[in-house]
Amino acid sequence: MKIFKSKRSTNAYPARNRKIFGIWMIGVTLLILGGFVLRFSFVATVGEVDSNNLAKQRQKQYQTDTVLQAKRGAILDKTGNVIAEDSNTYTIFAILDKQSKDSNNKPDYVVDKAKTAKILSRYLAMSEAKILARLTPGKNMYQVEFGTPGTKLSLAIKKQIDAEKLPGIHFRETPSRLYPNGVFASHVIGLAQAQGKSTSLTGVMGLEKQFNTVLAGTNGYRRSRTDAYGYKLPNAKTNLKTAVNGGTVYTTLDSGLQAYLETLMTDVQNKYEPKGMTAVLMSAKTGQILAATQRPTFDASTGEGLGDMWRDSLVEDNYEPGSVMKIVTLAAAIQSGKYHPNDYYQSGSIKLDGGTVNDWRTGGWGSIPLSKAFPLSSNVGMVKIEQAMGAGIWKQYLDKFRFGQKTGITLPGETSGHISFERPLDQAITSFGQGIEVNVMQMLQAISAVSNGGKMLKPQIVSKVISQNGKTKVYKPEVVGQPISKETAAQVIDAMRHVVNDEDGTGVAYKMPGVDLAVKTGTGQIASPQGGYLTGDSNYTFSVAGVAPASDPQYVLYLAMKQPQKMTEPAESILASIFKPMMQRALDTTANGAVTDDTNTATIPAVTNAALTTAQDSLKQANFDVATVGTGNKVVQQLPTSGTKALHGSRVLLLTNGAMTMPDLTGWSKSDVLKFVQLTGKKFKLVGDGFVTQQSIAAGTLLGDTSGTIKFKQQ
């Protein structure tokens, strides 16, 4: 018999089940609602959600903050001429989309491309054809830019282009740093750049980095209460915090001397192509650096050349100084009483500690007195002097002259150098500048003891700093030691006179008629990555240190040149082409910066930022010739700089705010052409010496990125 199960057997109590499910749902719902109530109660009581204060968030939602940008402080030369200051640059762009309209519903795109290209070619270093090509791309584009020529435009150029009222032409503003002198102690002054998305500038090298906190300033803000549409609420207060502009840094640099040194260095760089050069002019009695530069260098206004060398070679590079170090060796020997100038020694070579020290002249000079070792720059003689002192005394004097220690000059990244002094051979070769690594400022500091009557001066690049709150800190000359006496210093100076005045002295190439000069030359070997030293006539660091006038030192000039690739003349002649005119220019200036009286000279007036016609009239009235570069009507840079003393009839170059065009250089001297190259930042191949006879770029041609050739001939 078949048994059938009733449906109630599987769901016997449907009403009860529904009731249980309903109760369960009500419980869950009440639990969730309770959670919401508790959460809302907590939020209402505490006023926070996920650690965010709701009141503050609400205020933020209905307030507008505007950043008030602080102005970065300026870097000035010793007399207040601007070296670096705050500015804005502009990038030009063109809208091509024909749907674009301005607020008056007028076309806001380039309507007449040919006309626009023609007008823009007057202001950009770009041909009309290239501009037109940019305005006529092969595909639909909303807007276009104009590459490098369309960037970093000055406010003056922007205003002139705006005045043309060209539809569709706009500018993007970028906070920038203005370096009006271009190549001008570039690694010393340094750079300030925007970092990441920040609009504020930060010093990334040189004095810009060293004094970034002083220069940067503090941004302010304007805070207003607004409604949802951004309109200010009635009776709402505006909170204002005024921006505090950055302070000011005064350097010790003399703009006239600095610009002249840059010109001389550029000439040597172009002609002989050394892998590196440094040059520093220092006041002998204060330690103040009046001019300082290096090669490779860069144009701070454009950044051109920055990729070739980021380091400041004056403080960040170690090198073996070579025979200039003999100044210190002689000073130490005299001061210690261990110098016996009348003792004879056999020059040429000497064996020591399993090695051999050779003189630069093969075979030497025979048996000669130690008094000849210094003017002849005999390595063997210096070893004999070091041996007479003994390693202990010699090391004491190396310490007294503060080798192996940073000078503390106010520049970032200074190295401390290194002294190898473990073996007798190491100790001996330091006497002629090998086995010891220094930086340029350490050498200048040591030489200052000789030029300043025994008192050693700390090299100084900053004269004073004015902070954001107006407080002034003055950097006074600082004596950091007295390793030798006044009498010893005088004897060393006299020995340096023999270097330049004796017929067989190594410094005869530096002799200057009518100048009481004391010098010491140097030829330092360069260590090879494979061990030992490089060989070859040009694989040295050639150097010279000079003091003038020797009877009452006012200036110390120290030059070093590494591995000239086109060594068509002796190293001494190459360095002398910088040393002699630079020292003469310095000697024409008194210690306080005033130029000596001369009826044939005049002071170049300041015409930067003046109208072109006004500037030309001012210079002509001062009896100077004027050359103009550019199509603008306002002067943005001049060379030589204002305050420089120059001969009547000499040429002053003016760079205007218009597009740069090639002037007629016929008859220009090479020094004037070097000023032109420095002013424009363009690359030219200079052939020959004397005066310009030929130029490959015709006068009036727009100066783009193409380099040209300028030929010279002696008259």
Two tokens, residue 348:
């040429």
Contacts for 241 with CB less than 8 Å, ≥ 6 apart: 68, 220, 221, 222
Can you name the residues that pair with 87 across neighbouring β-strands? 176
Asked if 323 is an active-site residue, the reply is yes
Q: Cβ distance 686 to 708 under 8 Å?
A: no
CA 627/CA 636 separation, integer angstroms: 14
* Residue 242 dihedral angles phi and psi, to the nearest 5°: -70, 140
**Using an 8 Å Cβ cutoff, are 461 and 83 in contact?**
no
Helices (H), 466-611: 486-501, 571-587
Q: Which of 520, 512, 501 lies closest to 560 in space, CA to CA? A: 520
Half-sphere exposure of 17 (CA within 13 A, CB side): 6
* Interatomic CA distance for residues 563 and 565, integer angstroms: 6
Q: Nearest 5°: phi and psi at 440? A: -60, -40
Decide: 553 and 451 in contact? Cβ < 8 Å.
yes
Distances (CA, A) of 414 to 259, 291, 409, 417: 25, 18, 8, 9
Q: What are phi and psi of 426, to 5 degrees?
A: -60, -45
| Cα–Cα distance measured from residue 578 to residue 1, given in angstroms and rounded to the nearest whole number | 129
Specify the pairing of strand 349-352 against strand 355-358.
antiparallel
The DSSP string of 563-588 is: EESS--S-HHHHHHHHHHHHHHHHHT
The span from the CA of 339 to the CA of 255, in Å, is 42
3-state secondary structure of 57: helix
The tokens 């600082």 sit on which residue? Answer: 478
CA dihedral (163, 168, 174, 179) positive or negative = negative
First to last CA, the chain: 141
CB 287 within 8 A of CB 450: no
Residue 177's CB: how many other CB atoms inside 10 A? 23
Other CB atoms within 10 Å distance of the CB of residue 168: 22
What's the 3-state SS for 619-642? HHHCCCEEEEECCCCEEEEEECCC
Catalytic annotation, pick one of 313, 323, 378, 463: 323
Peptide bond into 640 cis (omega under 30): yes
Length of the chain: 715
375: preceding bond cis by omega (within 30 degrees) = no
Unique residue bearing structure tokens 């769901």? 11
Strand partners, 558: 280, 545
The catalytic site residues sit at: 323
